[in-house]
Structure 1
Amino acid sequence: MQVRAETTRRFLLETAAQLFDERGYAGTSISDISTLSGRTSGAIYFHFANKEKLALAVVEEHFATWPELIGQAKAAEVPALDRLVLLSFIVAEAFRENVVVRAGARLWMERKAIDTELPPPFVGWIETVTELMEEARTQGTLAAGIDPGSAALSVVYAFFGLHTVSDALERRRHIESRLHNLWLLLLPALQAEPGPAALLERVGLVRDRL
């Protein structure tokens, strides 16, 4: 019984995520979710007290995807800067392919319209990128004079800004190409011995093995 309930809850969450991603929070109703899912409104309310709680669940699931992706990148046996770039491509793929990730991002951007407190964004990303920058400095691959914390903040700003623009202009269809170009711009400033094309090629090979 518990397994069935969890399966139903997940199905409803993913259905809601599809509509939140396409229409936004204000443009999605419980009735819309009921129609798309084929479940009654009562069934939805059994699992989620209201639309706000459903939106919160989608955002929480969005954040819950990150630890596994971060672990996947950190486990790669390559230098820290390579792992940082690898992580960015892993996340880009998640944004493109995972509707819950996309919906969670959109809902957080629309948070002022949602009458519930949502988890704070980006904090974990800033910490993770800072750790990788500090490791790169220890390895001697980070350019002299680069402060890991400040650089991490700038990279996070650039990365998620790229996602926002790519989503608005092209629904992230070319996100990996845009990300590749962003790293060609950023890496010469970050690397102790600039070689952005070679690093991106190495990361591509690692991605092919994942």
Structure 2
Amino acid sequence: MTTGSGQRPSIDRARAGLKQERAVRTRGQVLDAAAQAFAAKGFPAVTMVDIAELAGMTKGAVYFHYANKEALAVAVAEEFYERLPVIADSVRDRALPPLESVAELLTRTATAFRDDTMIQAGARLQIERSLIDVSLPVPYVTFGDLVASWLQEAREAGDLASGTDPDAVARVLISAFFGAQHMSWVLSDRADIAERVDEILAVVLGAARDRQVS
């Protein structure tokens, strides 16, 4: 027979688990609201009240999870940089040839910029980083390293000229991509981002593909 004292630790653990689940869920709700606010208005214009209203909770509840707006900016930026590798992993899983992997990565990332509010917020925060009094993650390093590694594989396979510098081509591609997404955001709310990425790929990788065919 189980005694009441034996049941108590199990009950307490169950309650603690539920409380933790609620806290994680609430924290995610606040983070999503912050991303929505930062993406729409930019860091300087957003207040903790704005975020609380979007999250559907009190300002005190927001402060319970995040000390200030800067802490939320860091959390959103970190989430942004966690989502980019997820996109990269989905491309790796397809086991495409290197140049096709590069093209697929940029295409899928473009779609995320168009459709994912967290991605949009992270990109805007990087543009506004000089206005944020806190250190944000260094932008796009891992992303660029992955593109460079695929370009290196392409060169070794003979799909790029032997004198090609994979790191330089990767920097050009990444700079062009993130510049294009910014222009697409300003000019068309990213409605034409897929077309802009196709242009980048055609110009930068087009010569390599032509060489492969010839």
TM-score above 0.5? yes
**What TM-score comes out, normalization by structure 1 length?**
0.88
Q: What residue ranges of structure 2 are gaps of 5+ in the alignment?
A: 1-18
Alignment match, 1:176: 194
List per-residue Cα deviations over 1:9-52 (Å, max 9, x = no partner).
11111111111101000111011112222200100000000111
List per-residue Cα deviations over 1:117-159 (Å, max 9, x = no partner).
1010021122111100001112211134211111111111111
List per-residue Cα deviations over 1:54-80 (Å, max 9, x = no partner).
111000100011221111112213210
**How far apart are residue 89 of structure 1 and its match?**
0.7
Contact 2:158 2:212 in 1 (8 A): no
Distance 2:153 2:23 in 1: 44
Q: Rg larger in 1 or in 2?
A: 2
Distance 2:210 2:84 in 1: 29
Equivalent residue pairs, number: 195
**What TM-score comes out, normalization by structure 2 length?**
0.87
Distance 2:122 2:194 in 1: 20
1:2-81 matches, cutoff 5 A: 2-81=20-99
Q: What residue ranges of structure 1 are gaps of 5+ in the alignment?
A: 196-210
Contact 2:159 2:212 in 1 (8 A): no
**How far apart are residue 189 of structure 1 and its match?**
2.7
Alignment match, 1:117: 135
Aligned residues: CA RMSD? 1.3
Q: Secondary structure at the match of 2:143?
A: helix
**How far apart are residue 82 of structure 1 and its match?**
0.3
Distance 1:13 1:131 in 2: 33
Distance 1:152 1:118 in 2: 23
